[in-house]
Amino acid sequence: MTITQHGREQKQLNKLYEDFDAMGLIPLWTIRDDLMPMSPCPQALPHLWRWADLLPLAERSGELVPVGHGCARRAIALSNPGLPGLPYATPNLWAAIHYLAPHEVAPAHRHSQSAFRFVIEGESVWTNVDGDAVAMRRGDLLLAPSWTYHEHHNTTDRPMTWIDGLDIPLVSRLDASFFEFGLDTLATCETPKRSRGERLWGHPGLRPIGQPDRSSSPLMAYRWEHTDAALTAQLELEAEGASSVIEPGHAGVRFSNPSTGKDSLLTIRTEMHRLLEGARTAPVKTVGSAVWQVFEGTGVATVGDRRFELSRGDLFVVPSWDELVLEAGDRLDLFRFSDEPVYEALGLADTYRGKSA
């Protein structure tokens, strides 16, 4: 090919790309590596938020920002540094610290997004889910499945803080967001010790006859005493020589929908893990993203190329296919939530477990 021929072709090629652009077209061969990488390349980054930094900021919001019109929820979202400017902990998961001052009420609403709360301290607030009053206490997991009305009441003189997890980014990307305000009137202002859902569905291994399957859990509260007892039993059985744990010194439970045995929420997996003092997990890689919160204890999390020292209340993100290793200092209890049910439903779930050190 002569130089002039080559120059002519280059011009034609440039013109071709201009015409693609003008017609709203993008040729695959210019973008394939980004579009279809050999393995997941998440934009989200491993990141840690310290409870010691979050709590004072939540308290300051409590003083300065009243709950009411314009701010129906005093929730402050964790924003992943790899998703700058977005109130998203991961591409699919919202995680927020929520603060309700004494005698405040966060008014009723419902939405197509699924939600849960996990409590690491306090018991001043109860949440009302579709008319069922649900007490919130340390270590409890509380649900507000898609399209259930929910409102939060602080009926005490003490403030309360907890974390929320929702599938807001996923639902936003799916263009599936629906939202409705609820009525301001409430049937009850008292919280019984056990909600109606717990009385009906909260008996181990006993399913009420005549109740249909529910796509999300009919149980709105998972109490710490049960979670703690289950983890304790797994580790006791391990000490007796039974194979009862995920790996040596590492117990775990998944919060499940008692009507189906599947995840508590359709889109969000919720789990509690316990590592004995000094235990170390084998490296794990999972498709999908997760957020962890330290419930109690200290340790170290290595996520991809980051190393996080952990203390009570700290939250960290594990992006898709980033390797995670956990090491307990003293006994370490961790709450975890992830978007794995979505990947499982789509046939995209995968986990790689390496060898223990």
- Contact call for residues 295 and 312 (beta carbons, < 8 A): yes
User: Which region, left, alpha or beta, applies to residue 163 given φ > 0 means left and ψ of -120 to 50 means alpha?
Assistant: beta
In the complex, the smallest distance separating the C-beta of residue 273 from ligand GTQ, rounded to whole angstroms, is 23
| Contact by Cβ (8 Å): 110, 216 | no
Q: What pairing do the DSSP bridges indicate for beta strands 351-353 and 284-286?
A: antiparallel
Choose among 119, 169, 162: nearest CA to 141: 119
Q: Is 98 in the site for ligand GTQ (CB under 6 A)?
A: yes
| Residue 328 half-sphere exposure toward CB, CA atoms < 13 A | 21
Pairing of strands 269-275, 179-181: unpaired
Q: Smallest distance, Å, CB 96 to ligand GTQ?
A: 4
- Residue among 168 and 328 whose Cβ is closer to ligand GTQ: 168
Q: Which is nearer to ligand GTQ, 160 or 301 (CB)?
A: 160
As measured in angstroms, the least distance from the Cβ of 112 to ligand GTQ is 11
Residue 189: phi and psi, rounded to 5, are -125, 15
Q: Which of residues 68-97 bind ligand GTQ (CB under 6 A)?
A: 73, 75, 96
How far apart are CB 166 and ligand GTQ at their closest, in Å? 5
Structure-block tokens of residue 49: 């938020």
For ligand GTQ, which is the closer residue by CB, 67 or 279?
67
Residue 109 CB, nearest distance to ligand GTQ (Å)? 6
- The dihedrals phi and psi of 61, each to the nearest 5 degrees, come to -65, -35
Indicate whether 143 belongs to the interface with ligand GTQ (CB under 6 A): no
CA 287, 77, 170, 37: dihedral to nearest 10 degrees? -40
Q: Binding mask 224-263 vs ligand GTQ (x if CB under 6 A, - otherwise)?
A: ----------------------------------------
Counting contacts by CB under 6 A, is residue 164 touching ligand GTQ? yes
Q: Which of 283, 286, 293 is nearest to 332 (CA)?
A: 293
Among 137, 150, 274, 285, binds ligand GTQ (CB under 6 A): 150
Q: How many residues bind ligand GTQ (CB under 6 A)?
A: 8
Which one, 152 or 269, has the nearer CB to ligand GTQ?
152
Q: How far is the CB of 148 from ligand GTQ (least distance, A)?
A: 10
Residue 322 near ligand GTQ by CB under 6 A: no
From the number of C-beta atoms within 10 Å of its C-beta (0-12, 13-18, 19+), residue 95 rates as: buried
Helices and strands, counts by H and E, the chain: 7, 22
User: Which lies closer to ligand GTQ via its Cβ, residue 180 or residue 277?
Assistant: 180
Q: How far is the CB of 301 from ligand GTQ (least distance, A)?
A: 23
Nearer of residues 98 and 285 to ligand GTQ, judged by Cβ: 98
Pairing of strands 150-154, 105-111: antiparallel
Q: Which is nearer to ligand GTQ, 27 or 102 (CB)?
A: 102
Q: List Cα–Cα distances, 300 to 47, 71, 79, 125, 326, in angstroms.
A: 13, 36, 22, 31, 6
How far apart are alpha carbons 189 and 133 in whole angstroms? Answer: 8
Using the minimum distance from each CB to ligand GTQ, give the nearer residue, 127 or 227: 127
CB of 164 to ligand GTQ, least distance (A): 3
Question: Closest distance between ligand GTQ and the C-beta of residue 163, in Å?
Answer: 8
Q: Is 166 a binder of ligand GTQ (CB under 6 A)?
A: yes
For ligand GTQ, the nearest residue by Cβ is 75
Do 163 and 293 touch, CB atoms closer than 8 A? Answer: yes
Which residues bind to ligand GTQ, rule: CB under 6 A?
73, 75, 96, 98, 115, 150, 164, 166
